[in-house]
């Protein structure tokens, strides 16, 4: 819901209903979503809150996730006062008494993970959040936070796509499998680079995705999502499109069937070199 913006509540509701039509139930937002769209801090959460206020039944159908810890001009603050306030403010904007998943958006290097853990667990025990995850954390940062929590971290949210392979090699995917954490892949289309395919590397990857898409009768985006999803960590691509038709088409990600040879061909095209 990074680009979930505007004042048209009916149009916003249509996007949510398109997601439900596609079998999508996880909705991932954040308090910082807004300024990148030329809107105020918290705007995406507030818009979702307006949708849920008009159609409360939608709330019961979704797994609602939000994130906090980024502050305009700071840039990061997960200190006890700031983080507790961010959680309460998010709930107020969303018009709900709890979220199923609360994630630290980016690590605050000036707050001890024990303090972060204490604030998050206080909110959990108060019923404000159900589960705790991290976004844009290294495996070591996630492990440090997990050490001080009385409950497991349930999710990692890294950037991951056929053009951004870092989680496969930096330990994030391995930690997610080791600890049975959900892997929520943001920017699974490479920030639009897979759609535009303007450079040689993107074009090489796109050509292989297009071949698989044609074979499965889907579009390139669905092939890109499916390439991520075939990994045994069972990554969940965070679909960012705001077009209801393309949201519905995301369900086509289940159609392609990748052979090992095909999957590794995409990986090597993205790497620009052959594996040993």
Q: Which residues are catalytic?
A: 33
Which parts of the chain are beta strand (E)? 26-28, 63-68, 99-104, 129-135, 155-157, 182-185, 236-237
- Summarize the chain as % helix, strand, coil (round to 5): 50, 15, 35
Largest CA distance in the chain: 56
Q: Which of 118, 93, 107, 13 is nearest to 61 (CA)?
A: 13
- Euclidean distance between CA atoms 256 and 122, whole angstroms: 43
In DSSP notation, 202-255 reads: HHHHHHHHHHHHHHHT--HHHHHHHHHHTSTT--EE------HHHHHHGGGGGS
- Euclidean distance between CA atoms 120 and 133, whole angstroms: 10
- Euclidean distance between CA atoms 138 and 159, whole angstroms: 12
Inter-helix orientation angle 113-125/80-94, to 10°: 40
Q: Are 159 and 137 in contact (CB under 8 A)?
A: no
- Euclidean distance between CA atoms 126 and 120, whole angstroms: 10
């Amino acid at each position: 819901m990074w680009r979930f913006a505007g004042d048209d509540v009916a149009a916003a509701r249509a996007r949510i209903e398109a997601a439900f039509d596609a079998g999508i139930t996880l909705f991932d937002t954040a308090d910082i979503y807004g300024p990148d769209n030329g809107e105020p801090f918290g705007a995406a959460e507030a818009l979702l809150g307006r949708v849920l206020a008009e159609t409360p039944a939608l709330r019961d159908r979704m797994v609602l996730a939000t994130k906090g810890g980024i502050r305009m001009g700071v840039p990061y603050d997960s200190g006890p006062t700031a983080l507790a306030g961010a959680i309460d403010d998010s709930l107020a904007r969303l018009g709900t008494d709890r979220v199923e998943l609360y994630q630290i958006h980016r690590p605050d290097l000036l707050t001890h993970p024990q303090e972060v853990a204490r604030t998050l667990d206080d909110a959990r025990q108060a019923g404000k959040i159900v589960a705790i995850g991290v976004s844009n954390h290294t495996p070591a940062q996630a492990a440090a936070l997990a050490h001080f929590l009385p409950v497991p971290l349930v999710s990692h949210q890294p950037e991951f796509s056929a053009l951004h392979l870092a989680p496969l090699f930096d330990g994030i995917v391995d930690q997610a499998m080791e600890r049975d954490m959900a892997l929520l892949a943001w920017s699974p289309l490479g920030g639009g680079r897979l759609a535009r395919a303007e450079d040689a590397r993107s074009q090489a990857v796109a050509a292989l995705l297009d071949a698989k898409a044609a074979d499965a009768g889907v579009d390139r985006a669905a092939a890109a999502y499916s390439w991520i999803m075939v990994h045994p960590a069972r990554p969940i691509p965070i679909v960012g499109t705001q077009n209801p038709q393309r949201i519905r088409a995301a369900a086509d990600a289940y159609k392609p069937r990748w052979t090992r040879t095909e999957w590794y061909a995409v990986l090597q095209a993205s790497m620009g070199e052959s594996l040993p």
